[in-house]
Structure 1
């Protein structure tokens, strides 16, 4: 396995893990933390915002890595880079629906 393929797999694993962590927090941890009824945002919103920021940075790293592989090292990892871009696109487009689904799981 080449270094490029290993890095592609590591980035895909990181991005997918953060994606699942965000959904898991929304489904099971968001309502467990205290929220003052007089304030528009609580600690849960701040944690969710930080998780989103970390996820977006990792998503950007995945996209930059995939584009670099596709433009410079086509022969070494084109399939992995294409799969990484497909994973990023699928996560980006499915998150809104899955976020609402996870929010409905947290409210019994």
Structure 2
């Protein structure tokens, strides 16, 4: 396996792992942390924002890596780059629905 394909696989795993961590936190951890009724935001919201920013950075790295492969290394990993872009697109468009679904499954 070439270095480019290995990096593509690792970025796909990282992005998917962070995607699932965000959904799992929303479903199982968000309501367990204390939230003062007088405050507009609680610690759960701050953790959710931190997870979202971490995920967006990894998503950006995936997109930059895939575009770099498509532009500079066409012969070495075009299928992996297209699969990575497809994965990023599916995750981006499905997150809003899955986030609401995870919130409805939340344990109180």
- Please, what TM-score do these two structures have when normalized by structure 1? 0.98
Question: For structure 1, which runs of at least 5 residues remain unmatched after alignment?
Answer: none
Q: Is the 8 A contact 2:28 2:107 kept in 1?
A: no
Q: Tell me the residue number matched to 1:80.
A: 80
Cα-to-partner distance string for 1:75-99 (whole Å, 9 max, x where unaligned): 1000000000000000000000000
- Please, what TM-score do these two structures have when normalized by structure 2? 0.98
Q: Hey, what's the Cα distance between the residues in 2 that align with 1:74 and 1:95?
A: 30
Aligned length: 108
Give 1:107 deviation, angstroms: 5.0
Q: Tell me the residue number matched to 2:47.
A: 47
Q: Is the 8 A contact 2:22 2:48 kept in 1?
A: yes
Give 1:12 deviation, angstroms: 0.2
Q: Hey, what's the Cα distance between the residues in 2 that align with 1:107 and 1:40?
A: 21
Q: Hey, what's the Cα distance between the residues in 1 that align with 2:52 and 2:19?
A: 9
Q: Tell me the residue number matched to 2:15.
A: 15
Q: Tell me the residue number matched to 2:94.
A: 94
Give 1:106 deviation, angstroms: 0.4
**Aligned-pair RMSD on alpha carbons?**
0.7
